[in-house]
Chains A and B, each alone.
Chain A
Amino acid sequence: MVVLLLLLIPLIGVCFLFLYKGDHKFASAASLKLSFASLLVMCFRLCYWNTPEQLSFTAPWLTSLGSSFSIRMDGLGTILSLLTTAAYFLLFWYMKSRTIERPAAFFAWLLLAQAGMLGVFLAMDSLLFYFFWELALIPMYFLASQWGGARRIPVTFKFFIYTFLGSVFMLIGILYLQSKTADHSFALESIKKIKLTSDQQSWLFWLFFIAFAIKLPVFPFHTWQPDTYEESPTPVTAILSAIMVKMGILGLLRWVLPLFPIASYMWGDVVMSMAVAGIVYASFLAMQQVDIKRLIAYSSIAHIGLMTAGAFALNQLAYQGLLIQLFTHGINILGMWILVDIIERKTGTRSIDSLGGIAQHSPTLTIFFVIIALANIALPLTNAFVGEFLLFIGILATPSTYYWVFAVVGGLGIILSAVYTLRMIRAVFYGQPNATSSMPITLSWHEIGALVLIVGLILFFGIYPQPLLDMTADFSKDLFGQTDITSLFRKS
């Protein structure tokens, strides 16, 4: 029942805000309260509500088709729901200091996207999963197209078409799996019982993988991403890159690896090559960028590449690192986007060339930016270090001949990320201030609050990662049990 509550709270907000239009103050306050309620529910779930009855909910729906409204919160769902509720709370808190046109509709679409994404994270029925997958896409499309920049219409449409194309292939895969189940059901449990040959697994693997690869995005399916991130309003970009890309990782961990373990092993090398190629490619492009938003967009592709490689490393450490990284990457990149938004709003530009020397007049902002940027490079004592470290150990243990290539090239990505991030910090914050950046940037109470919380999370989990390790241990062990086909080849 707790899980149903998580879905219902944002939906209440959607109905309320679409019908009862309010001004910015009202809409942002209402959304903030709702997101706080969601976060509170999530905290209670972590501390007290742990029984299986509380964590799952099933209701009959589309029974004649073999589907049901069945949602359950497992380890993966927990960490992603925690990320979603926390990120929404932080973002809405920050949004109180920022005005936007037609605020009621903006916040309503954001809340609808929250419900959709939480549904994706919790759905245990493949058709329901597909429903939520699209439900999360539509609000993002409207948000980016209505509130975005000058080139928004063609750019976001490309995003929509790409994602939709991927998802219809996944739909074919889902329907095929349903036709193979013994009880003609879409439920994950029934699908897991099917015995698939390795050929069938290969076909299904690609049908599902393309959908997730586009969403992530993995090189070479990434072409929609930099444009969309650039043209979307920054709060929407934050949701896209902090939470929505995690839908792709979730898809891999829940709907690809455990269902098609043989194919995941067979095609693991191909996918990992794509992933690490993407890391290097995106890092080099990031170094060339002048627009801060595009720079972070490319750096996001590099991070996602590392996570994808971790998913196909097919061992427990990599899984655990990946789960932790899901949460920490979401929080860090959210902090980055909030800072970019502040800089853009207060100086009127996002171009690295026309900024410089902000540190002289705005030390607070600079401190926040440097800490969050260092977390983005995964420096030790920041939260991202834990996840990336585990990911690298995992990639080194990949059951593949080329494990060292993947590890070395992936490691190169870390060095490159330091290069472009530090270059951006130097160009934007240090040096001589010029006309656009000589005004001191004062931060409002809401902005400082949200940033302090993010920095607090970065340092807390960087120094004491044990809660995250505990939270992810069971699920990664379980996932490894389902995907470990190399044990068949090993001498016992």
Chain B
Amino acid sequence: MNVLFVSAILGVLLMLSSLFIKHRAYIHSLALIGLAVLFAINLAEFNGWLLFEMDLSGMLRFDRYALVMNAIVLASFFFYLLLSGSAMEKVGPHYADYLALLFFICSGLFMVTGFESLLILFLGIEIISIPLYILTGSDKRNLKSNEAALKYFLLGSFSTGLLLLGIAFFYGARGNFIATASVDPTVMSSSLQLAAVLLLLFAMSFKVSVAPFHFWTPDVYDGAPTVFTSFMATIVKGALFAAFVRLFEDTFSPQFSLWQPWVAGFIVLTLLIGNLTAVFQQSVKRMLAYSSIAQAGFMLLAVYAINGDSKEGLLLYAASYSLATIGIFAVLVYLQDHTFEGFNGLAKKQPIVAASLAIFFLSLAGIPLTGGFLAKLFMIKAALAYQPWLAIVSVVMAVVSVSYYFRVIQAMYFRTDAQSSSIEFPKSLSIGLFITALIVVLLGIFPETILGLLYF
């Protein structure tokens, strides 16, 4: 729980830092140090070492699951800042403010991963959403960015309304907001409770861009400055999924016969729409937007199959998906040409960058020896316990996903660049990418180092 407060304080500090520190590199290092401190504090919490204690019972509960998810959020955030920190300068002059907003989002993420009261869930989601609206529109001179921000804001507010209505019904049925409280069966089957389940399902599906609530995603991801797309498509999505799983596993598992068919339908729809649309994209950025919808379909399997496998799988999924996508977006920022042709011949010019990108795409496609494979393996295993056909649909869609991820690999390795314009990458970027790729591979070979934290 300490991370929640410290990250909020860090956000305020960073916001003020622009008054005192003129040099952006220092602000960047300050943010990185802050993240390292947060990570240390989070690790200490695994052993029960707290800086200060507060009674949060009934509001927040930082169990192992939340702590591991927070560690993944912090680690991904660290690599995100490492790889994309300097690219953020190009968006606009308010560098410190962007960082501050990201840290505020981070504290919102800690609230949703560890919520116990639905009020906290609501607060957390709002704390995440409002800075995201701002960041989406942060490229003020760009009309697409403005449009994306407005669209995101309007649709986001609408889904927040659904969420709030669901929470109100929940309160009406139970008389409290506590997600884990035990209730007698008659309340469970009351119509208010059933309405609450469905409204919350729809609202959460909207937030994690699951079809048919995904329509905002491609435009918002495409319109937002690429650095911020990277953040909201990865870290935010992973943490929101953790909350999604927590809500439905802890609170609504008794009514699973009601919502499981809905979720199964959403999974199939999301996988189909995400994958099949991504195949036809010409811009890599838009392809990644649809791919993030497709990956959400896989992560939704964790909500569908409420068992141990799915929780472990979600953590692994969030980690490997976030790291891989952050790495790809970090390279994309530097490319002038966002089409597939922009990647032509990259392997000759930048062997390390290309090799790391290849590993990221292999991981997203779910090829063994990468984290993405084991994550998918856990998900399919979890789904297989309930519905074999769901597993078959998801693996077929994984094969479809290969067709668009491999287009980039083909461009980088097998095609040659017509115009010999050289792309300059900072040296630090290739080193950072290499380390990130190494972690993605290690996640695929020794996943127990992360998952072990859940139990020991």
Identify the closest chain A residue to B378 (Cβ): A65
Q: How far is it, in angstroms, between the C-alpha of A160 and the C-alpha of B367 when the chains are bound? A: 12
Q: Which of B79-123 contact A (CB under 8 A)?
A: none
Sort A-B residue pairs by CB-CB distance and give the 10 closest, nearest first: A168-B395, A134-B368, A131-B368, A145-B414, A165-B399, A175-B381, A153-B414, A175-B384, A172-B391, A153-B410
B 372-395 binary contact with A (CB < 8 Å = 1; else 0): 000001001100110010011001
Within 8 Å by CB of B448, from A63, A160, A179, lies A63
Is A161 on the interface with B (CB-CB < 8 A)? yes
Within 8 Å by CB of B415, from A153, A165, A175, lies A153
Cβ contacts under 8 Å, A176 to chain B: 384, 388
Is A142 on the interface with B (CB-CB < 8 A)? yes
SS class of chain B's interface: helix, strand, loop or mixed? Answer: helix
B413 to A179, Cβ gap below 8 A? no
B398 to A179, Cβ gap below 8 A? no
In the assembled complex, the CB of B218 is this many whole angstroms from the nearest CB of chain A, namely 25
In the assembled complex, the CB of B54 is this many whole angstroms from the nearest CB of chain A, namely 34
> Total A-B pairs in contact (CB under 8 Å)?
65
Cβ contacts under 8 Å, B413 to chain A: 142, 145-146
Is B447 on the interface with A (CB-CB < 8 A)? yes
Most chain B CB within 10 A, of A130, A142, A153, is at A153
Is B451 on the interface with A (CB-CB < 8 A)? yes
A130 to B368, Cβ gap below 8 A? yes
A168 to B367, Cβ gap below 8 A? no
Is A439 on the interface with B (CB-CB < 8 A)? no
Cβ contacts under 8 Å, A135 to chain B: 368-369
Q: Which of A274-326 contact B (CB under 8 A)?
A: none
In the assembled complex, the CB of A473 is this many whole angstroms from the nearest CB of chain B, namely 35
Is B255 on the interface with A (CB-CB < 8 A)? no
Identify the closest chain B residue to A63 (Cβ): B448
Given known A153-B410, A153-B414, contact A138–B395 (CB-CB < 8 A): no
Is B41 on the interface with A (CB-CB < 8 A)? no
Is A171 on the interface with B (CB-CB < 8 A)? yes
B 355-381 binary contact with A (CB < 8 Å = 1; else 0): 000000010000111000000010011
Within 8 Å by CB of A146, from B388, B414, B447, lies B414
B448 to A64, Cβ gap below 8 A? yes
Q: How far is it, in angstroms, between the C-alpha of A178 and the C-alpha of B399 when the chains are bound? A: 22
How many residues on chain A are close to B (CB under 8 Å)? Answer: 27
A160 to B406, Cβ gap below 8 A? yes
B367 to A138, Cβ gap below 8 A? yes
A168 to B399, Cβ gap below 8 A? yes
Q: How far is it, in angstroms, between the C-alpha of A152 and the C-alpha of B381 when the chains are bound? A: 35
Q: Which of A425-476 contact B (CB under 8 A)?
A: none
Identify the closest chain B residue to A102 (Cβ): B348
Identify the closest chain A residue to B444 (Cβ): A131
Cβ contacts under 8 Å, A63 to chain B: 448
SS class of chain A's interface: helix, strand, loop or mixed? Answer: helix
Is B191 on the interface with A (CB-CB < 8 A)? no
B368 to A152, Cβ gap below 8 A? no
Additional 9 contacts, C-beta under 8 A, given A146-B413, A161-B402:
A135-B369, A142-B413, A165-B396, A168-B398, A168-B399, A172-B388, A172-B391, A175-B391, A176-B384
A172 to B399, Cβ gap below 8 A? no
In the assembled complex, the CB of A211 is this many whole angstroms from the nearest CB of chain B, namely 12
Cβ contacts under 8 Å, A164 to chain B: 399, 402
B384 to A161, Cβ gap below 8 A? no
18 pairs, A vs B, C-beta closer than 8 Å: A62-B447, A64-B452, A134-B369, A135-B369, A138-B362, A145-B413, A153-B410, A153-B415, A157-B406, A161-B399, A161-B403, A171-B377, A172-B380, A172-B384, A172-B392, A176-B384, A178-B381, A179-B385
Residue numbers of A with Cβ under 8 A of B are 62-65, 130-131, 134-135, 138, 142, 145-146, 152-153, 157, 160-161, 164-165, 168-169, 171-172, 175-176, 178-179
Given known A145-B413, A176-B384, A179-B381, contact A134–B367 (CB-CB < 8 A): yes
Q: How far is it, in angstroms, between the C-alpha of A152 and the C-alpha of B399 when the chains are bound? A: 20
Q: How far is it, in angstroms, between the C-alpha of A63 and the C-alpha of B396 when the chains are bound? A: 28
Cβ contacts under 8 Å, A169 to chain B: 392, 395
Cβ contacts under 8 Å, A168 to chain B: 395-396, 398-399
Identify the closest chain A residue to B413 (Cβ): A146
Most chain B CB within 10 A, of A62, A138, A175, is at A175
A175 to B380, Cβ gap below 8 A? yes
A172 to B406, Cβ gap below 8 A? no
In the assembled complex, the CB of A273 is this many whole angstroms from the nearest CB of chain B, namely 26
Cβ contacts under 8 Å, B377 to chain A: 65, 171, 175
A171 to B380, Cβ gap below 8 A? yes
Q: How far is it, in angstroms, between the C-alpha of A172 and the C-alpha of B392 when the chains are bound? A: 7
B367 to A179, Cβ gap below 8 A? no
Cβ contacts under 8 Å, B403 to chain A: 157, 161
Q: How far is it, in angstroms, between the C-alpha of A340 and the C-alpha of B384 when the chains are bound? A: 48
Cβ contacts under 8 Å, B406 to chain A: 157, 160
Q: How far is it, in angstroms, between the C-alpha of A248 and the C-alpha of B402 when the chains are bound? A: 22
Q: How far is it, in angstroms, between the C-alpha of A271 and the C-alpha of B367 when the chains are bound? A: 29
Cβ contacts under 8 Å, A62 to chain B: 447-448
Identify the closest chain A residue to B406 (Cβ): A157
In the assembled complex, the CB of A112 is this many whole angstroms from the nearest CB of chain B, namely 11
Cβ contacts under 8 Å, B396 to chain A: 165, 168
A64 to B451, Cβ gap below 8 A? yes
Cβ contacts under 8 Å, A130 to chain B: 368
Q: How far is it, in angstroms, between the C-alpha of A172 and the C-alpha of B399 when the chains are bound? A: 13
Cβ contacts under 8 Å, A178 to chain B: 381
Cβ contacts under 8 Å, A161 to chain B: 399, 402-403
Q: How far is it, in angstroms, between the C-alpha of A171 and the C-alpha of B384 when the chains are bound? A: 11
In the assembled complex, the CB of B447 is this many whole angstroms from the nearest CB of chain A, namely 7
Cβ contacts under 8 Å, B398 to chain A: 168
B 441-456 binary contact with A (CB < 8 Å = 1; else 0): 0000001100110000
Within 8 Å by CB of B395, from A64, A142, A153, A172, lies A172
Q: How far is it, in angstroms, between the C-alpha of A65 and the C-alpha of B444 when the chains are bound? A: 13
Identify the closest chain A residue to B367 (Cβ): A134
Q: How far is it, in angstroms, between the C-alpha of A179 and the C-alpha of B399 when the chains are bound? A: 23
Q: How far is it, in angstroms, between the C-alpha of A178 and the C-alpha of B382 when the chains are bound? A: 12
Q: Which of B390-428 contact A (CB under 8 A)?
A: 391-392, 395-396, 398-399, 402-403, 406, 410, 413-415
Most chain B CB within 10 A, of A62, A165, A171, A178, is at A171
